[in-house]
Structures are given as structure tokens and as C-alpha cells.
Amino acid sequence: MNDNARVIYEGPSQITGKGHIVGIVTGLARKRDGTAKVKSTNTKLAGDAASHVMQLFILNADEHPSHAVYDSGNDEHICGSCPHKRGNPISSRCYVRVEQAPRAVWQSYADGNIEYMDPRDVAANQPTDTGLMRLGAYGDPAAIPFKVLRELMNGIGGQRYLAPDQFKRHTGYTHQWMLQHIDQRLRFFLMASVESECQQDLATSMGWRTFRVVEQGESLRTSGNRPEIACPASKEQGYRLNCVECGACNGERLTSGAPLGDLTRKVNVMIEAH
Ligand code: SF4
């Protein structure tokens, strides 16, 4: 069996109300000495080699990720109408290579090698109490029921509901914030992904913090309701911080001890598309 991953949700998509999707947390493996087995190798967005990262993958349960993206279009169950998703003729900017990690995780699940774990038990099984939880290494976390995400995050530093301080950081983004049927409490965990100032204003008025993807050369916005910062893990910012160190993209949740201080819960974030 796969000792690094656990299924925490299986059922219909909360985005489309249909489909058969699965939520899988990875990064649970331990070495014999009890320390985390898998370390992050993504120095740009996830952290340096010493930073452990747990990740939530959201996948179609019965379909190879590449097939869902390029053939059937069933990636709508996990990505909605995200303008960046692959196969979208307008943008297709999604940086996730579905044929790599998503395929490997899905294949392990399809082979019957990933066991179920109650989301409330993930925190007790996390191999380290420092590092990062990425909600949505692939797929939009809004596809998972809010109740499941809340149970997962309660144990992993979801201070909004309980008070454990196990995982110091998490990141998460959703393009579904404007959908009427989406649970608006997701803003406690996730940033609203936006592509324009107009969308940013709307999301802000609904209580969301925003992560704005802009064209190259665009400036930080100074007229919004909240200050906007450039992602410090971006090329333009010289990769001066990684997500573990920064932790700004955690929705409305209060982050303790973050280098950016109180600003981490108040700022919006901007990044240039490449
Ligand atoms: S702003 Fe911070 S948390 Fe958000 S993507 Fe950039 S480095 Fe990561």
C-alpha cells in the first residue's frame, strides 16, 4: 500500500454537483526514525529542501487526469471553468503537469493502493509539525465539501475553528468564489483567484482576500480596499521567500509568527503570469 497518501473524500464535485471525484492528501510517509520521508523539492513555490509539504490533490476518481483534461473535459468537476486550465484555448497557463504528480497519485489510487483516512485523523498522522499544507496541488479545493476541508484543517492549524498550532502554514486558492452555490466559508482557508481589478473588487466586497494573476509588466494595485503585495516567490521578486516562509495565501485565517506580520492576513497578492 501507499504509505505516503490517504483518501479523505470520495463523492460528487461541489463545483458541478456531479461526477465522481476524490481528494487525496500526500506527504504522510515517515522514515524509520519517524521523520518525514518525502521532502519538498520545489524551491520556488513550496519551500526549500528542509521544508516538508503535505498536499491535497483533487482528481476525477475514474479517469486518467490527462484524459479528463484533453479528451472528455471532465476536469470541469475538479477545476470548474478556471481560465488557466489546460486545454482552455484562451489561456491554458496552468503550471501543473497533469501527466506527472497528478497522474502518479491517480494511478496509485486506481490500483487500489491508497487507503481511506478520516480527515480529522490526518493531523495526528502528519510526520512533522512544521511545513506547509497545499490545498490543491492539483484541482480546486472548492470541489471538496466544506465540511471535509474544515475537518482536515481543524487539525492542521485551522485556528479559525479550534486552536491547534501544528501546521504553521497552508496555502489554497479557488476560482469558484463567485459561484452562488459555493460555501462562502471557504474564504477562511482559500484565496479568491482573480484576473482583473473588477473581479478583485467583487471578491473583496464578498469578504475574500485575492490572488491576482496579471500580465507581465503590470503594477501593483494601489486603489483597492486592501494593500496588494507581489508574491515574494516570484521571478520578479527574486524568489526571496518561499510559501513556507511567507504563508500569505491562507485566506482570512490568522497566521501567527509570519515574517510579514499582521499584513499576512490583510494583504492581497499579485503575481505576473509567465
Ligand atoms: S504570496 Fe507567499 S504564500 Fe502566496 S504564493 Fe507567494 S510565496 Fe506562496
Quickly list DSSP for 78-133.
HHTT-TTSTT-SS-------TTTHHHHHHHHHHTT---B--GGGHHHH-S-SSSEE
Measured in Å, residue 210 CA sits from the centre of ligand 1 at: 12
Which of 46, 70, 74, 71 lies closest to 59 in space, CA to CA?
Answer: 74
d(CA 13, CA 55): 19
Residue 91 confidence (pLDDT): 64
3-state secondary structure at position 172: strand
| Nearest residue (CA) to ligand 1, atom 1 | 231
For residue 19, count other CB atoms closer than 10 A to its CB: 20
Measured in Å, residue 26 CA sits from the centre of ligand 1 at: 20
Measured in Å, residue 244 CA sits from the centre of ligand 1 at: 8
Which of 208, 207, 178 lies closest to 269 in space, CA to CA?
Answer: 208
Measured in Å, residue 92 CA sits from the centre of ligand 1 at: 21
Measured in Å, residue 233 CA sits from the centre of ligand 1 at: 6
**Ligand 1 atom nearest to 269, measured from its CA:** 1
Using CB distances shorter than 6 Å, the residues near ligand 1 are 45, 171, 231-233, 241, 243, 246-249, 269
Would you write out the chain's pLDDT as a tens digit for each of its 274 residues?
999 999 999 999 999 999 999 999 999 988 777 777 765 544 444 444 456 788 999 999 999 999 999 999 999 999 998 888 876 666 667 888 899 999 999 999 999 999 999 998 888 887 776 668 899 999 999 999 999 998 888 755 444 333 334 445 789 999 999 999 999 989 988 999 999 999 999 999 998 999 999 988 888 988 777 889 999 999 989 998 888 778 788 887 544 444 444 444 578 999 998 7
Evaluate the CA torsion angle 10, 54, 186, 76 in order and state its sign: negative
Pocket probe mutation, ligand 1, options 231, 234, 236, max atoms within 8 Å of Cβ? 231
Measured in Å, residue 185 CA sits from the centre of ligand 1 at: 21
Pocket probe mutation, ligand 1, options 168, 237, 243, max atoms within 8 Å of Cβ? 243
DSSP 8-class letter at 30 = B
**Ligand 1 atom nearest to 169, measured from its CA:** 3
**Ligand 1 atom nearest to 191, measured from its CA:** 4
Pocket probe mutation, ligand 1, options 249, 266, 272, max atoms within 8 Å of Cβ? 249
d(CA 87, CA 64): 15
Residue 265 confidence (pLDDT): 54
